[in-house]
Amino acid sequence: MFIPSETIFYDLLSNSIGSVKASSRDLVEYAFEKKVIIVSPTSFMAYLQTIIQGFRALKIEASAKEIIARVEELGKHLGNYDQYMGKLGNSLSTTVNHYNTAHKELNKLDKDVFKLRTTNRNRTHIP
């Protein structure tokens, strides 16, 4: 509740109210229980700034939640990428092993062909 005069605001908080002898603390507590904030021209701007800061904090919290969700999604994608890279590494390793084995077999074939040539040459020179 906005009290448009500092004098009236001060009088409400410091003096008895009407015929009822109530302290300013009782008045402030009663207003708060009814979800009413009593402000004066001086305290009004400070109260508005507090509300603005609260909204900014809520906005930051919402942004932080969104960032956390995106980081979790990024982590999931990085995990999937790591799995595929592991599979790719295993496949490449298997491919290299098969290539090396095939190359060894080719060398064996080359030696067999060389032996056949040598044997064939030796037979042609025998009288």
Integer Cα distance of 57 and 42 in angstroms: 24
Q: pLDDT of the chain along its 127 residues, tens only?
A: 888 888 787 777 776 555 555 555 677 788 888 998 888 888 899 999 999 999 999 999 999 999 999 999 999 999 999 999 999 999 999 999 999 999 999 999 988 888 888 887 777 665 5
pLDDT at 16: 59
CB atoms within 10 A of CB 95: 10
Write down the pTM of the prediction.
Answer: 0.48
Integer Cα distance of 20 and 18 in angstroms: 5
